[in-house]
Copies of this chain bind each other. A is one copy, B any other.
Amino acid sequence: MDCALGIDIGGTNTVFGLVDRNGSVLVKRSILTMSQNPVKELLDRLFFDVSVWESEMNDGVKLAGIGIGVPNGNYHTGMINPNPPNLGTYWDSLDLVNTIKDYRDLPVIVTNDANAAAIGEMYFGAAKRIRDFVVITLGTGLGSGIVVNGNVLYGHDGSAGELGHIVIEKNGRMCECGKSGCLEMYVSSKGLDLTVKEFKARYPDDTFLYNLPDKKVDGKEMDDAFDRGEERAREIYNYIGGILGIGLAQAATILSPEAFIFYGGISNAGDRLLKPALASMNENLLSQQKGKITLKLSGLPDGEAGILGATSLIWDNVRD
């Protein structure tokens, strides 16, 4: 059976799967990226699994190509743009297309992970009937895939859509990109860690905060605390949502999308995060835009927007 391999590489997890032409995910798996290790180490594990799938599938698998969404992935060059903030140095300026071709000599298309998710949402998810929208991936960092009039906005050099790196707080938190105050230093897994750290310093006697870890704060734990009325958990989501809303308003002032669609780990917080974000966004919009832009969650199962979008690029290309 004809299918494509979709790979969605994140700072923490890599999701990959086989997808047929209709967008059915035949099989998928999530593994740790361990991005500080050589890239080959991840790809060896990943293609080992793919080989197992190939040998196990009853009908036999004919891979038409490999589509990859990855932070800093450049659609035009097939490379990783320099200095990817959420991947280790082994990924810096990597020629990913040719690295992958060492494993399978097939058509390989690389794009930014958020662009892949945007294409997945447009074809199969929450953006099916929307022509102007932005997908925001909330994982280790914050990525964005922008769709304008039904087409992904790549920019002249393929590096558009870095919404995680618009500056929200002048002289704010230092970002690995070299700037400070970037949106993703507040709204992402690492942003959550830093916020919890700040709150711990501000409320040294708070038991709830005291019991949270210093790194990799669990979003689920935050959600549960929010739901049982833990005041600090609510404050933290209000704070993060407020900053997210400012960032969305900045983007909307330029792009005027119909919707922002949220995808990835932290987005599981749902309205706990999106309600304060919506209020803050509307507060910071021009009057003609207030109340007209929707915030919604991915319309696809966890991790699937990325691999669906990445494989769509293969089908679009194979069709051409």
Contact = CB atoms under 8 A, between A and B. Distances in A.
Given A81-B288, A132-B156, A148-B153, A255 B254 contact: yes
A288 B165 contact: no
Looking at A82, A170, A178, A253, the one whose CB has the most chain B CB atoms below 10 A away is A253
Nearest to A131: B156
A54 interface: no
A189 interface: no
Contacts of A167: 246, 249-250, 284
A159 interface: yes
A151 interface: yes
A155 B260 CA distance: 13
B153 A255 contact: yes
A166 B253 contact: yes
Given A148-B148, A151-B149, A156-B132, A178 B287 contact: yes
A133 B156 CA distance: 8
Contacts of A292: 157
A289 B131 CA distance: 27
A254 to B, nearest CB: 6
A83 B289 CA distance: 11
Interface in A112-141: 130-133
A159 B81 contact: no
A42 interface: no
Looking at A83, A178, A256, A258, the one whose CB has the most chain B CB atoms below 10 A away is A256
A253 B162 contact: yes
A267 interface: no
A141 to B, nearest CB: 12
Nearest to A170: B170
Interface in A229-268: 246, 249-251, 253-258
Contacts of A130: 156
B159 A287 contact: no
28 contacts: A72-B288, A81-B288, A82-B288, A83-B286, A83-B287, A148-B148, A148-B151, A148-B153, A155-B256, A156-B256, A157-B292, A158-B256, A159-B288, A159-B289, A160-B254, A160-B255, A161-B254, A161-B256, A162-B253, A162-B254, A162-B286, A163-B253, A166-B253, A166-B254, A169-B170, A177-B287, A250-B250, A254-B254
